C-alpha cells in the first residue's frame, strides 16, 4: 500500500515528538502549571478545542499576569498558541455548535480576553461585507445562469459569514451578562467601552447587516428565476437549460420560505403584496416547461453538493480529518465543516513543492486518519492559521453548502 507523503510543510510538527531543544526553551513552571500545560498541549494536538476548555477556564480564573505570561511562553515553546487565542477558539467552536451552555462559567479575565478577540472578528466580517459585490448598487445582474452560480456562491458565503458573526455577537452579550455590576464598575475605560459594545451595539449592527444581506440575496434570486424561466422557454436541450431546471426550483422554494417567514422588508422590490403568489406561479411554470429535467437536474446537483463536501470539506477537529465529539449530541456539529470560499483547483500531491498547499488538503483521507491514529501525523502552520488564526483570513469558512 502506498504510504501518504509528508507533503512538505503541509503536515509539520509531529504530535508525539518533543525534542530536547524545544524543551530547553520552556520556562521553569510549578508542577501544577506544567501539568496544566501538558493537558492543554495534548488536547490541542489532538485537534479538540473543547478538550482544553475546563483547564483553561480554571487557569484564567485564578492566575496572575506574571504566571500567565510564563505559561504562555511554555505553550509557545511547544508550538501551541497562547492562552488568549486558545480560549477564544473554545468559545468560537461552542458558538458554531450551539453548545455555549456546556462551557464552564467564564471569569472577568477570560470574558475580557475573549471579547477583545471576538470584536476583531466582527470588524473583519463587517469589512468583508462592505466590499462585497452583493452589497453594491445596482445589484449585479450576470447574463448567464453559469455566471449566476458564482454570484450565488459568493452571496451564500457572505450570508454564512455574517450569520456566524451575529451568533458571535449574541455570545458576546451573554458573556457580559455573566459579569457582576461590581466587577464591571471596577474596569478601566477601555474595558468598559468593550463591555458597552458587547451589551448590544455590536449585535444590533450585525442583525441589521444580516437582514440587508438576506434581502439582497433574495432579490438576486428573483433575477435568476426570471432568467431561468426565459431559458426554459427554448425547448432545445443545452447546459443552460439543464441548469435552469434546477435553479428555478431552488430559487422558488427558498424565496417562498423567505417571503413567508418575514413580514416586513426594506428593499422596494420585496414589498410587493403579490410577490409570493408570483413566485408560486413561476415555480409551476418552470416545472411545466422543464418536464423530467427538474428531477434529473436535482439528482445531479444534489450528488455534486455532497461530493464537494466530501472532497474539499475539512472537518472541525483533528486538523480537518474528523468531526467534533460534539457531533454526538449536536445536529449542527454533525454538519459543520470548513469549505473553501473560492472554488478549488486540485493539484497533484506528488508534484506539490514545499512552498505549496496541496488541494485538496488530504489526497487520501483514510491514509492520514490511520497515520493520526498511530500519532504520525504532522501539523501545518499554514493549515492551523486557516482555521484558528487571522480573523480576516479569506481562505476557508465553516458552513453548510446550499446554493
At 319-369, the pLDDT tens digits run 778 877 777 777 777 777 788 877 788 888 777 776 677 888 887 777 777
pLDDT of residue 21: 40
**Using alpha carbons only, what angle is made at residue 131 by residues 266 and 391, rounded to the nearest 5 degrees?**
110
Could you state, in order of their start, the residue ranges of all structural domains in the chain? Answer: 11-101
pLDDT of residue 316: 76
| Nearest C-alpha neighbor of 211 from the set 141, 262, 139 | 262
Percent above pLDDT 70 for the chain: 85
Mean pLDDT, residues 182-211: 92
Give the confidence band of 375 by pLDDT, cuts at 50, 70, 90: low
| Nearest C-alpha neighbor of 113 from the set 68, 52, 148 | 68
pLDDT of residue 343: 75
Mean pLDDT, residues 298-319: 87
289 contacts 239 by C-beta, under 8 angstroms: no
**Average pLDDT score, the chain:** 84
Q: At what angle do helices 108-131 and 53-62 cross, to 10 degrees?
A: 120
307 contacts 363 by C-beta, under 8 angstroms: no
Give the confidence band of 25 by pLDDT, cuts at 50, 70, 90: low
Give the confidence band of 389 by pLDDT, cuts at 50, 70, 90: very low
pLDDT of residue 147: 96
For residue 162, is pLDDT > 90?
Answer: yes
Can you tell me the distance from the alpha carbon of 69 to that of 63, in angstroms, rounded to the nearest whole number?
10
Tell me the three state secondary structure of residue 281.
helix
Q: What is the pLDDT of residues 65-89, one digit of tens each?
A: 999 999 999 999 999 999 999 999 9
Can you tell me the distance from the alpha carbon of 379 to that of 318, in angstroms, rounded to the nearest whole number?
10
For residue 6, is pLDDT > 50?
Answer: no
Q: What is the pLDDT of residues 216-227, one digit of tens each?
A: 999 999 999 999
Give the confidence band of 377 by pLDDT, cuts at 50, 70, 90: very low
pLDDT of residue 318: 74
φ, ψ of residue 322 to 5 degrees: the values are: -145, 165
Give the confidence band of 5 by pLDDT, cuts at 50, 70, 90: very low
Sequence-separated (6 or more) residues with CB below 8 Å from residue 163: 210
The cell 492562552 sits on which residue? 83
Tell me the three state secondary structure of residue 378.
strand
pLDDT of residue 364: 76
The cell 451573554 sits on which residue? 174
pLDDT of residue 19: 40
86 contacts 44 by C-beta, under 8 angstroms: yes
Ramachandran category for residue 353: left, alpha or beta (phi over 0 → left; psi -120 to 50 → alpha): beta
DSSP state letter for 397: E
Burial group, residue 289, by CB count within 10 angstroms (0-12, 13-18, 19+): buried
For residue 49, is pLDDT > 60?
Answer: yes
Sequence-separated (6 or more) residues with CB below 8 Å from residue 62: none
Q: Which residues pair with 322 in a beta bridge?
A: 317
pLDDT of residue 368: 74
pLDDT of residue 247: 97
Q: At what angle do helices 83-97 and 53-62 cross, to 10 degrees?
A: 130
The mean-pLDDT minimum among 126-135, 209-218, 305-314 falls in 305-314
For residue 307, is pLDDT > 60?
Answer: yes
Give the confidence band of 392 by pLDDT, cuts at 50, 70, 90: very low
pLDDT of residue 379: 46
Grid cell, residue 319, equals: 486538523
First to last CA, the chain: 38
Give the confidence band of 241 by pLDDT, cuts at 50, 70, 90: very high
For residue 267, is pLDDT > 90?
Answer: yes
297 contacts 242 by C-beta, under 8 angstroms: yes
Amino acid at each position: 500500500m502506498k504510504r501518504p507523503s509528508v507533503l512538505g510543510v503541509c503536515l509539520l510538527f509531529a504530535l508525539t515528538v518533543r525534542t530536547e531543544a524545544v524543551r530547553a526553551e520552556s520556562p521553569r513552571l510549578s508542577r501544577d502549571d506544567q501539568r496544566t500545560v501538558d493537558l492543554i498541549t495534548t488536547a490541542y494536538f489532538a485537534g479538540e478545542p473543547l478538550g482544553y476548555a475546563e483547564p483553561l477556564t480554571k487557569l484564567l480564573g485564578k492566575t496572575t499576569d506574571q504566571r500567565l505570561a510564563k505559561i504562555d511562553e511554555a505553550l509557545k515553546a511547544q508550538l501551541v498558541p497562547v492562552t488568549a487565542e486558545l480560549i477564544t477558539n473554545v468559545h468560537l467552536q461552542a458558538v458554531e455548535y450551539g453548545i455555549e451552555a456546556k462551557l464552564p462559567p467564564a471569569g472577568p479575565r477570560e470574558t475580557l480576553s475573549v471579547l477583545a478577540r471576538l470584536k476583531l472578528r466582527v470588524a473583519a466580517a463587517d469589512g468583508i461585507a462592505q466590499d462585497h459585490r452583493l452589497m453594491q448598487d445596482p445589484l449585479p445582474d450576470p447574463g448567464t445562469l453559469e455566471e449566476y452560480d458564482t454570484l450565488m456562491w459568493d452571496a451564500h458565503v457572505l450570508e454564512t459569514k455574517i450569520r456566524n458573526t451575529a451568533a458571535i455577537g449574541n455570545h458576546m452579550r451573554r458573556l457580559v451578562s455573566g459579569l457582576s455590576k461590581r466587577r464591571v464598575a471596577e474596569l478601566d475605560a477601555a474595558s468598559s467601552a468593550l463591555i458597552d459594545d458587547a451589551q448590544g451595539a455590536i449585535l444590533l449592527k450585525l442583525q441589521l447587516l444580516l437582514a440587508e444581506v438576506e434581502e439582497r440575496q433574495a432579490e438576486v434570486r428573483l433575477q435568476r428565476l426570471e432568467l431561468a424561466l426565459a431559458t426554459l422557454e427554448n425547448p432545445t436541450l443545452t447546459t443552460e437549460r439543464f441548469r435552469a431546471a434546477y435553479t428555478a426550483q431552488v430559487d422558488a422554494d427558498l424565496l417562498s420560505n423567505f417571503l413567508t417567514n418575514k413580514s416586513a422588508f426594506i428593499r422596494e422590490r420585496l414589498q410587493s403584496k403579490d410577490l409570493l403568489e408570483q413566485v408560486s406561479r413561476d415555480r409551476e411554470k418552470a416545472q411545466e416547461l422543464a418536464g423530467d429535467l427538474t428531477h434529473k437536474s436535482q439528482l445531479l446537483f444534489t450528488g455534486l453538493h455532497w461530493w464537494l463536501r466530501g472532497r474539499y470539506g475539512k472537518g472541525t477537529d483533528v486538523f480537518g480529518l474528523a468531526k467534533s465529539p460534539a457531533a454526538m449530541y449536536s445536529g449542527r456539529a454533525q454538519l459543520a465543516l470548513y469549505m473553501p470560499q473560492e472554488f478549488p483547483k486540485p493539484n497533484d500531491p506528488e508534484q506539490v513543492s514545499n512552498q505549496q498547499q496541496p488541494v485538496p488538503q488530504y489526497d487520501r483521507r483514510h491514509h492520514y486518519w490511520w497515520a493520526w491514529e498511530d500519532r504520525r501525523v504532522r501539523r501545518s502552520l499554514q493549515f492551523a492559521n486557516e482555521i484558528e488564526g487571522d480573523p480576516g483570513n479569506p481562505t476557508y469558512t465553516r458552513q453548510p453548502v446550499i446554493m
